[in-house]
Amino acid sequence: MTISDLAGSGGDSPLRDVQLELVDSVDKAMEFKRWLSQSRRALGVDTESGGLRPDLHRLRLVQFGDMTRGWAIPWDRWGGVTMEALNQYEGPLVFHNAGFDCRFLQAHAGWSPPWSRIHDTMTMAHLVDPSRPKGLKPLSARLIDPRATAGETLLHTGMGQHGWTGDTVPTDFPPYWVDGALDPVLTCHVFEKLGPTLKARHYETAYDLEMTTVRICADMMTRGINIDLGYCDQKAEELRGWVVKAREMIKREYGVDNPTSNRQVIAKLQRDGVELTKRTASGADLALDKEVLNALDHPLAEYVLAIRKAEKICSTYLENFSEMIGPDGRLHPSINPLGARTGRMSITGPALQTLQRDDPTVRTAFIPSAGNRLVLCDADQIEMRLAAHFSHDQGLIDAFHQDADFFCVLASQIFGEDVKKGDRRRQITKNTGYGKLYGAGAPTIARTAKITLEAAAHFVQAFDDRFPGITQLMTKVVNEAEQRRRDEGRAYVRTPLGREVPADDEREYALVNYLIQSHAAEILKRGLADLEAADVARYLVLPVHDEVVLDVPEAEVADVVNVVESTLNDLTTYEVPLTWSAETHPSWGAKYRK
């Protein structure tokens, strides 16, 4: 079968004469082996599974392909043929989302991926253009042939007609195996398309770092982490009980029957003289999101926020962990090494990037293995340190070289008197510093710091007068991006590793934040590679924001703490020291308890 059989004639499409095959007999298996012995630049590999979890879901198909031919091999009937191919082929292997497919092949086939020979077109696509979708089919439709999605469309239609899922669709159902056999072919074409661009932009170092991160993250996902289900049950019951009482109190004190009804809460706030101006995306209604509620000085707003938070913690995390845990009794979150445009990682199943920064409630559920302790290592104010480095602002640089709290030093200089931790002016200074990195103006800073707009504007001006480097950095980055738009047709910022992070239209002001976030991601990934070289990566279980979590045998904790800190600390490369602080705890949340 060819793609023309699926979607009609395609003119001079590079996919026009691609042949797609199903291994369903001994003769087909022998034909596949003869084809596999041919010389080629790279072999595309893909899998189809019954779900997203290797520890819970079946491996259905394994597919191989090159630029002209694709094969689908049902795992349950012809797994031996698959294993021969994986173990005997010695050339480069190309996946699209290698971490996913390799984990399935490890779990179900016992295959040890030869990572030095593995390429990942999803990673390549992100490096070339992090602003575009990275799915194989839409990427292929854009780069190779618009008809690349035709098989997927036929498959979804057929599955819908029969009520099949990814776990129940028969492996010999033509739209299923044909669509699967096409995937490694598309992967090879995308590999050939993107490879020259990576080389032209001198992305070899960045790509090697990302592939190292893919491997390390795949190991972390396989390793998993322990969850204290007893704590989850107890805490969920406690939070649900508090919500019931809070709802009763709100009804009694404020006359609001349902505190999760925006209409009822808005009506009560307006009756109390609260002015609300922000509107929803459609513009039809007043908004009552987290930002709005946080900025209000009204007890009802505080209760609504607390109720929303408690209910989300219960439903999304505590009450859901028992369903997420695998047969080995451990949680195996999905780690995306390139979860954001900036190259920041993201974690789903559950979503850990969205946890409130200093709240221990969910984190306390994460515990070490028996006989182990958790080692938690966090970068110290890495975003502000990078801002000081990139801006060359001497005031910021000097503040980081003092033996005192960084934001207290800044606040003391701005206010002209000694500001200690706990002083509200420290938090205002911190909000302003980070706000400027995110491109926030006085109105946003006023809302987050809960001060008047006039006071925020005055403070922002005082901050700029004392530390002008950040504003100067923003002007420089924006001017360079606008010049690139004129010269090259696209605006972007370039990281120290040479990666180009594009701006959204008319949002060049966000590029300073992109620069800092992107390089912070590079630093974390470089740190993971260094930890592997130091022989402690085998203990890694989570990377969240600028923190790494390790599950370490009790007897080795002291040594690992020393190795992790000394490996991650960088005291010489930048204009300010980049330091990391490691602690040991009986749970992840213990670090955040006040």
pLDDT, tens digit (0-9, with 9 covering 90-100), for 11-53: 678 898 899 999 999 999 999 999 999 999 999 999 999 999 9
Here the tokens at position 236 are: 């969920």
Is the per-residue pLDDT at 9 higher than 60? Answer: no
pLDDT at 284: 87
Rounded (10°) angle between helices 204-223 and 98-109: 40
For residues 374 and 364, what is the distance between their CA atoms, to the nearest angstrom?
11
Here the tokens at position 20 are: 């797609």
Confidence of residue 142 (pLDDT cuts 50, 70, 90): very high
pLDDT at 6: 59
Residue partners of 556: CB distance under 8 A and separation at least 6: none
Here the tokens at position 46 are: 């893909």
Here the tokens at position 339 are: 């979860």
Confidence of residue 291 (pLDDT cuts 50, 70, 90): confident
The amino acid present at 92, given as its one-letter code, is P
Number of neighbouring beta carbons within 10 Å of residue 26 = 10
pLDDT at 150: 84
Here the tokens at position 207 are: 């790509």
DSSP 8-state class, residue 570: B
pTM metric for this prediction: 0.92
Number of neighbouring beta carbons within 10 Å of residue 214 = 26
Strands 330-331 and 334-336: unpaired
Is the per-residue pLDDT at 8 higher than 70? Answer: no
Tokens 């809460």 belong to 265
